[in-house]
Amino acid sequence: MRVDGAGLGKVQVRLKWDPSPYGEPARHLDIIAATYPAGDPYGRPEYVVHTESRSPDGTINMTRHSETGLGLGYVEVMELEFERLSSAYGRVVVGVAIHQNGVPRTFGDLSHAGVLVVEGYRQLLSDDFATVADATAATIAEFTRDTSGAWHFAQLVHGFESNPTGFMAEMGTLRS
């Protein structure tokens, strides 16, 4: 349990978007989290969590996954448990990528897309991807551990022009 002033505890990243119109290929978005070692927070990720995967220690999990956007409200959810994350990790970057299934799509091509980052009832970020409308993937949040071990949030909305695999390799190169 988090003590006030001790940094972040359990955080959820929630994603929503409208499904494709009838007859068009499905619009498929994924939340992606990359975890970086404390000793090299801008190097290669130690591991990446996406689709229906989870972190090796179970601290980062996909609790809801959609390949179509069908459903009410937020249809994809990732949960990050910072109070349990090993001290070996010092940075986590979270982003969203659009699968490019035959028809190139950007965030501007989607309707009613949005991401919400919350810790309990506290909203950390709400974004509709308007600032990255021409991008096919975007980072949205950066979580860093300070010297006391407390985790902190920083908004990091930045667009990329890559597919999900390419995005995973480059998403952690940004510095807030």
- Given this model, what pLDDT does residue 176 score? 64
Pairing, β 122-127 against β 114-119: antiparallel
- Given this model, what pLDDT does residue 18 score? 95
DSSP 109: G
- pTM comes to 0.93
**Rounded CA separation 138/22 (Å):** 26
Residue 49: both structure tokens together: 């969590």
In tens digits, what is the pLDDT along the chain, a chain of 176 residues?
344 456 999 999 999 999 998 988 889 999 999 999 999 999 999 999 998 688 999 999 999 999 999 988 999 999 999 999 999 999 999 999 999 987 789 999 999 999 999 999 999 999 999 999 999 999 999 999 999 999 999 999 999 998 888 899 999 987 66
Q: What are phi and psi of 130, to 5 degrees?
A: -65, -35
Residue 159: both structure tokens together: 């667009």
CA-CA distances (angstroms) from residue 56 to 10, 46, 53, 59?
17, 10, 9, 8
**Rounded CA separation 75/63 (Å):** 10
Spacing of C-alpha 136 from chain mean position? 14
Whose structure tokens read 């390949």? 67
